[in-house]
A = this chain, B = another copy of it.
Amino acid sequence: MIKNYINKNLKNHSNRGMSFEKVINLTNQYYIDKNIAIIHKKPTPIQVVKVDYPTRSKCKITEAFYKTPSTTDYNGVYKGRYIDFEAKQINSNTSFPFQNIHIHQLSHLKQIDYHKGIAFILIHFTNLNETYLIFYSDFNLIYESYVKINKKSISYSTVKAVGYKIDLINNLYLDYLKIINLVIEKINF
A interface bracket (residues with beta carbon within 8 Å of B):
35 or more
Set B32, B59, B64, B81: member contacting A61, Cβ < 8 A = B64
User: What 1/0 flags go to A111-123 for Cβ under 8 Å of B?
Assistant: 1101111000000
Establish whether residues B32 and A111, one from each chain, have CB atoms under 8 Å apart when the complex forms: yes
Q: Which residues of B contact A76 (CB under 8 A)?
A: 75, 82
Q: Which residues of B contact A61 (CB under 8 A)?
A: 46, 61, 63-66
Chain A interface main SS type? mixed
Establish whether residues A63 and B66, one from each chain, have CB atoms under 8 Å apart when the complex forms: no
Number of this chain's copies in the complex: 2
Q: In chain B, what residue has the closest Cβ to A64? A: B61
A151 at the interface (CB under 8 A from B): no
- A contact residues vs B (CB 8 Å cutoff): 32, 35, 37-38, 40, 42-46, 48, 58-67, 70-71, 75-84, 108, 111-112, 114-117, 187, 189
